[in-house]
Amino acid sequence: METAFGLSIPRTVAEASDPQRMALLVYDMQVGVVSQIANGAEITARVVTLVQAARVAGVRIVYTRHMFLPKAMAGVCALRTAMAWQRVNTVAEVRPFLLRDSAGFELVPELAPTPDELVLDKISMSAFVGTPLDIVLRDCGIDTFAVTGVATEVGIEPTVRHSLDLGYLPLIVADACGAGDQEAADRALATLAFAGGSLQTTTAALSDLLQAANPKSHDPAAAPSAPRASHREGTLMKIAIIGAGLVGSTLGPAWRRRGHDVAYGVPQPDAAKYASLDAPVMTNRAAALSAEVVVLCTPWQATRQAIADCGDLSGKVVIDCTNPLTPDAASLAVGHTTSGAEQIAGWAPGARVCKAMNQIGAPMMDAPKLPGTPVMFVCGDDAAAKDVVDGLVAELGFEVVDAGDLALARLLEPYGLIWIHLAFRRGFGTGFAFGLLRTA
C-alpha cells in the first residue's frame, strides 16, 4: 500500500478489497436486460458467486434497476435513446420497455436481495445520477466498490467514469460484466484501463480475496494468541505459499505461527488433499494477488506454469525455494552458466526474486533442533527484498548470510543438491543441516 501525506493509496485489487470500506454494485441484472445478451446465464452465475462471497465477507450490496418512463413523460433524451436501442425511426414505433412493475423490470430470479441489501431504481446510465447511491456509500464510510452486471458498454462504463469524478475507487469485475456488443465492451474496458483510476479483476480473484478477508475462513484454534512481529518492527507479512507439498506445508504453518497472514496457492483449491491445510487455499493468482511475499515451493517441472498462473508478480518479493532438479533428483536440469532462480526472474518480470530455503529439507525448515545454528545463504539483486527474506528466514531459526546477487544461485543450487545427495543417496537421512564456523 502506497502512503503519502497521511493517506493510504491502494494500487492493487488486493489492497483495495477491504470489506469494511467497499460495496458490491450489481448493475441492472434485470430479466428484460439479461435476456438480451448471448451469455446471460454465464454472467448471472458469476454475479451470484460474487453476491455470495460479498455476503459472507460482510460487504454491503446495492442492486440497480433501469426504468423507462411512459412515453409521454420520457422526454427528448430518453426517447432518442429508446429509438436507438430499438432501432426504430419514430417515437410512434417505440415499444414500452422496462416499465416499473413489469416482468422485464424485475431482477433475475437467481438474485434475491435480503432485507439488509439495497435496490435502487434509476432512469440514467450512471448509477449515481438521480439516486441516493453516493450519499449512502459515503455515509457508510465506503470509498471503493466492485461493479458487476449488464451492460459494460452502456451503463457500467459511465457509472465507473462518474464514480472516479466523485472520488471513488471502482473495481470492475470484467468477466462478470455482460455486454450487448462485445467489441464495444472490450473497447470500453481498454479505455478505462488506459485512463487509470479504476482497477479490473475477475470473479475468481475477487471471490478468493473476499474469502481470505472473512475471519471465518481461518481456523481460530490454529492462530497464535500473541503474534510476534517480523524483523520490521510492528510489521507482519502477507505471504502466498505457491505449492502445498512437503516444503509448502512446512513453511506455511511455520510463518503463520509467527503471526504472518498466510494463504496457499494451488491449481485446484477444492481438491480433498488440501482440506487439512491450516490457512485459506485458493488459486495461485488469487493468493499472489493479495500477498506481499510469494514463496515458490513447487517441483521444478511445475514452476514455470505456477508462475504463469500467479499473474503479474511485479513489485512483489518472490522467495525461490526450488532446486532445478532432473526428475530423478540426481542432478540439476539448469546450472553453472545460469540458474533456476535467474530463469524464474525471467518468467516473472519485475518480481524481486531471492533464492533461499533450498539448502535444507522440509523436516528441518522450522526451528531445527541441532547443537548449533544452521546457516541459510540468501541471494538476490534487490537489497530491500533481501532484507524481507532475511527476516523471514531468521524467524525460522537460521543464521542468514547474504551470498550476493541473484547470479550466486548458480552456486547455491548445486549446494542444495549436496544436501539432497547426502540425505537420500548416502544414508544421512533428513536430520542434519550445514553450519558456518568462524575463528574467534
Quick check: 298 and 265 in contact, CB under 8 A? no
| Alpha carbons 187 and 336: distance in angstroms, whole number | 47
Per-residue pLDDT, 226 = 32
Percent pLDDT > 90 in the chain is 74
pLDDT of 388 higher than 80? yes
- HSE value, Cβ hemisphere, 13 Å, CA-based, for 17: 30
Quick check: 208 and 282 in contact, CB under 8 A? yes
Range with the lowest mean pLDDT among 44-58, 87-101, 118-132?
87-101
Of 137, 133, 205, 197, which is closest to residue 176 (Cα–Cα)? 205
- Specify the higher pLDDT residue, 96 or 50: 50
Per-residue pLDDT, 225 = 33
Q: What is the pLDDT of residues 232-241, one digit of tens each?
A: 433 588 999 9
Which residue is it, cell 481438491? 271
pLDDT of 215 higher than 90? no
Torsion angle, CA of 146/60/35/108, rounded to 10 degrees?
160
Of 359, 354, 356, 334, which is closest to residue 406 (Cα–Cα)? 354
**In order of start, what are the domains of the chain with their CATH numbers?**
2-211 (3.40.50.850), 222-424 (3.40.50.720)
- Give the mean pLDDT of 354-378: 95
The single-letter DSSP state of residue 169 is E
Phi/psi class of residue 23: alpha, beta or left (left: φ > 0; alpha: ψ in -120 to 50)?
beta
64 pLDDT band, cuts 50/70/90, is very high
Cell numbers at 388, concatenated? 524481507
- Specify the higher pLDDT residue, 61 or 7: 61
Q: What is the pLDDT of residues 254-269, one digit of tens each?
A: 999 998 999 999 999 9
- Give the mean pLDDT of 9-29: 93
Q: What is the pLDDT of residues 390-400, one digit of tens each?
A: 999 999 999 99
CA 30 centroid distance within chain: 29
Quick check: 399 and 434 in contact, CB under 8 A? no
pLDDT of 211 higher than 90? no
Per-residue pLDDT, 223 = 37
Q: Is 298 helix (H, G, I), strand (E, B) or coil?
A: coil
